[in-house]
Amino acid sequence: VLPFPSQVVYNRVGKCGSRTVVLLLRILSEKHRFNLVTSDIHNKTRLTKNEQMELIKNISTAEQPYLFTRHVHFLNFSRFGGDQPVYINIIRDPVNRFLSNYFFRRFGDWRGEQNHMIRTPSMRQEERYLDINVCILENYPECSNPRLFYIIPYFCGQHPRCREPGEWALERAKLNVNENFLLVGILEELEDVLLLLERFLPHYFKDVLSIYKNP
């Protein structure tokens, strides 16, 4: 047993700065020699029981120390006989997150000029260039249901009720945060979050703040 948490899971919430954190982790994994386990699956956050078992098995057998990252709702390792890892995550102001997602769906990101065409190939030009104020004020479906509840299942878990907005899902999410998450940061305070990660998990995040500030 290593003298620090050797199993860390970052079940990253979309549009909450996770791309930046993963870029930092790639640098840090080479610098500190830990196993960064990433996933190419970005759009499957809810898993069947068999998919949960298979993913947990694959994660648990990875070379330690490891840090696993994927867009996936909370997984209960102990339910399937595995060792429960340390969880970390970052969330952000829900309105800012909605804004970020609105423009990301239309214009993608720095990974390629045509990235948005791959994500939303059927989007018409007038829809792609729709002013967000018009979208909101005229109650377009995309803007009248901005999926603000979307964050809670990342902490509530894979139970079907976690996707039903309500007290049960919220309370279960809070319980999981208290019992399983070392840190849930806020993107608007990212430098403080990185500083805390450096203090709590130095084997993974030592020097992260200086790397983040370096052009």
Task: Report the first-to-last Cα separation within the chain, whole angstroms.
Answer: 37
30-41 residue pLDDT tens:
999 999 999 988
Asked if 71 is an active-site residue, the reply is: yes
- What is residue 150's predicted lDDT score, i.e. its pLDDT? 85
- Give residue 115's pLDDT: 55
Structural domains for the chain: 7-93+151-213 (3.40.50.300), 96-138 (no CATH)
Q: Which residues of the chain have pLDDT under 70?
A: 1-2, 110-119, 146-148
Residues 32, 71, 159, 203: which is the catalytic one? 71
Please give the single-letter amino acid code of residue 27: I
Phi, psi at residue 146, to the nearest 5°? -80, 15
Cis peptide before 65 (omega within 30 of 0): yes
Query: What are the tokens at 16?
Result: 């909450």
